[in-house]
Amino acid sequence: MSCKRMEQAVVISQDRIAPDIFSMWLQTEEIASLAVPGQFLSLYTEDKSKLLPRPISLCEIDEEKGRLRVVYRVTGANTGTEQFSRKVAGEKIKVLGPLGNGFPLDVGRGKKVCLIGGGIGVPPLLELARQLEADLQIVMGYRDRTFLAEEFQKYGTLFVATEDGSAGTKGTVLDAIREQAVSAELIYACGPAPMLRAVKQYAETENIVCYVSMEERMACGIGACLACICQSKEVDEHSNVHNKRVCKDGPVFLSTEVEI
């Protein structure tokens, strides 16, 4: 695992790309040089009443220019994410990263791979799509408004599902997979727990190896507080119970390792 660094990142740009969804590029040379797809950053606010950082997944990595892109959802008024959304080019944000374990790239190279994303679990798959040298089928699920869809089209065949039927298949990502007869040798998935639970079951039924990136609420982001544990089949050597720390042991797991 890469060593984490604390930096004062400089905001390069910030754009609203969908209702409550923001895309921000950060200049952070050292962290960008270490980051891999599937890892995340902890971003700190300047609000003294908010002591804990906010974990945000990496969307893109530009190692050459020393930049990272995060795409995140604003979760309410005066929240940490809402404060980040006010940042403009030239301002700074304290950042810790890269954190967590990323997606295993080697197991997917040269294979027929399906990337499955849901909601704010869509952004972490973009850098994976860019770096993964594979035959990519990409299935993205949204409540209504899509985002990043055009960017994914550069890297593979894209299928979209929306809950309201405004784009693509009406329903879930699994509805789209069945409707479009999508098949794969390997799955990488990121999204809310109900989606991951369904994808895990689908992968097991179809005998497909599946890696999931779990979206748990985190506090410290470095594995010390045990706030983001999930159930595992193996005993965790840190806590001696059947738990995995999503921030430290994950967020990416082989789907058969964890209970969702």
Q: What angle do CA 8, 10, 13 make, to 5 degrees?
A: 150
Q: What angle do CA 182, 186, 190 make, to 5 degrees?
A: 85
- The string over 90-110, giving b where at least 16 C-beta atoms fall within 10 Å of a residue's C-beta and e elsewhere, is eeebebbbbbbbbbbbeebee
The answer to whether the beta carbons of residues 103 and 38 sit under 8 Å apart is yes
Domains and CATH numbers, the chain: 5-99 (2.40.30.10), 112-215 (3.40.50.80)
Residue 247, pLDDT above cutoff 60: no
- Name the token pair of 131: 């770096």
- 186-191 vs 169-170, strand pairing mode: unpaired
Rounded to whole angstroms, how far apart are CA atoms 35 and 56? 13
Rounded to whole angstroms, how far apart are CA atoms 196 and 179? 19
The pLDDT assigned to 214 comes to: 84
Rounded to whole angstroms, how far apart are CA atoms 130 and 111? 15
pLDDT digits (tens, 9 = 90+) for 154-206: 999 999 999 999 999 999 999 999 999 999 999 999 999 999 999 999 999 99
- Name the token pair of 107: 């197991």
- Beta bridge pairs of residue 54: 43
Rounded to whole angstroms, how far apart are CA atoms 94 and 112? 39
pLDDT digits (tens, 9 = 90+) for 22-62: 999 999 999 999 999 999 999 999 887 777 889 999 999 99
